[in-house]
Amino acid sequence: MKLFIIGLLIILLTAPLSFSRVGGGDITFKVKRGGDVSFSHDSHVSNAGLQCTDCHASLYMTKEKHRKVTMAQMQKGQSCGACHNAKKAFDVKANCSNCHKK
């Protein structure tokens, strides 16, 4: 009986982890110049090892509370530019085609 209860507790405690979603999927930002920008949560979470809280809610809010960001702001280290500054990750100033797809 004791083993049954322990097993049941393990299942109940780990079940939410097996159904949880890593990342928030892909997001496409429609922009007027340079081509739309595709953002992959999975590549940032899985490949770069970031946690949700690394960006939310300090750099970004949620999709519902999205705020507009300009390239000028990114080049000053805001938004994507906080990491994409040629130190942590590729520089937004010199690698346009990494994000902008025509």
Q: Is residue 39 part of a domain?
A: yes
CATH of the domain at 33: 3.90.10.10
Domain count, the chain: 1
H, E, C per residue of the chain: CHHHHHHHHHHHHHHHHHHCCCCCCEEEECCCCCCEEEEEHHHHHHHCCCCHHHHECCCECCCCCCCCCCHHHHHCCCHHHHCCCCCCCCCCCCCHHHCEEC
pLDDT tens-digit series, residues 2-53: 776 776 667 666 655 444 455 577 888 888 888 898 888 888 888 888 888 8
Residue 91, domain extent: 20-101
- Whole-prediction pTM value? 0.65
pLDDT beyond 80 at 73 = yes
